[in-house]
């Protein structure tokens, strides 16, 4: 008898899960693609634009690697203790005259030169923030590379209000202690930093 009741409860639980899964509403965007949130519809066109204009038709090339690199340099400006930049806000694009002068951002100028006109075009078309652009490009570029993970993208970053301060990007010449301390200040454990 107890087994029959347990079987009934389990069956009802699975039915509830199945019914709830079927209730997820899908929205059809103007381009025919579907999503669960209409706010995401413009991102389909943005991804197509990035693939065509930045990533040479979805290649895992230098631009894909550069997109991930610049998204890291932009994001690491964050500090859980405050006093640093906003992090992941696109300040490296918007305040590039300031942030490109930082020693740790050496070599990023070419990436900014490649991405800034594409950002401007997308910003005019869909009012995407610099942070959303940079981190969408990083996620899309990474997904172009075989064996790479698909990075989660969170949409809705506000525009940056200031440049990230200097010395927020760890350098290869920094000690392990300093690098781990900087990553800890950005919210990463030592295992996550490695």
Q: How many secondary structure helices (H) and strands (E) does the chain include?
A: 9, 2
Distances (CA, A) of 184 to 54, 76, 101, 176: 33, 11, 25, 12
Q: Binding site annotation covers 114? A: no
Classified as helix, coil or strand, 71 is helix
Joined tokens for residue 175: 């000690």
Q: Binding site annotation covers 32? A: no
* Alpha-carbon span 193 to 186, nearest angstrom: 10
* Alpha-carbon span 153 to 42, nearest angstrom: 14
The percent of the chain in helix, strand and coil, each rounded to the nearest 5, is 55, 0, 40
CB 74 within 8 A of CB 134: yes
Q: Binding site annotation covers 91? A: yes
Q: Binding site annotation covers 156? A: no
Joined tokens for residue 11: 């069956």
The label of the residue with tokens 């992941």 reads: 88
Catalytic residue numbers, as ranges: 73
* Alpha-carbon span 44 to 186, nearest angstrom: 30
Residue numbering of the annotated binding site for Ca(2+)? 74, 87, 89, 91
Binding site per annotation, positions: 74, 87, 89, 91
């Amino acid at each position: 008898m107890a087994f029959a009741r347990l079987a009934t409860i389990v069956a009802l639980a699975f039915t509830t899960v199945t019914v709830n899964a079927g209730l997820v509403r899908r929205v059809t965007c103007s381009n025919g693609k579907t999503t669960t949130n209409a706010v995401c519809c413009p991102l389909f066109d943005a991804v197509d634009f990035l693939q065509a204009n930045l990533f040479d038709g979805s290649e895992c090339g230098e631009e894909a690697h550069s997109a991930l690199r610049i998204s890291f340099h932009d994001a690491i400006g964050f500090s859980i203790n405050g006093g640093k930049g906003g992090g992941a806000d696109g300040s490296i694009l918007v305040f590039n005259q300031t942030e490109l002068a930082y020693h740790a951002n050496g070599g990023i100028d070419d990436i900014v030169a490649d991405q800034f006109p594409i950002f401007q075009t997308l910003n005019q078309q869909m009012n995407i923030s610099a942070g959303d652009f940079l981190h969408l490009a990083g996620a899309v570029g990474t997904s172009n590379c075989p064996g790479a993970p698909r990075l989660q993208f969170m949409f809705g970053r506000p525009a940056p209000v200031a440049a990230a301060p200097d010395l927020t990007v760890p350098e290869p010449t920094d000690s392990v202690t300093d690098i781990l301390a900087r990553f800890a200040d950005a919210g990463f454990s030592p295992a996550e930093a490695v």
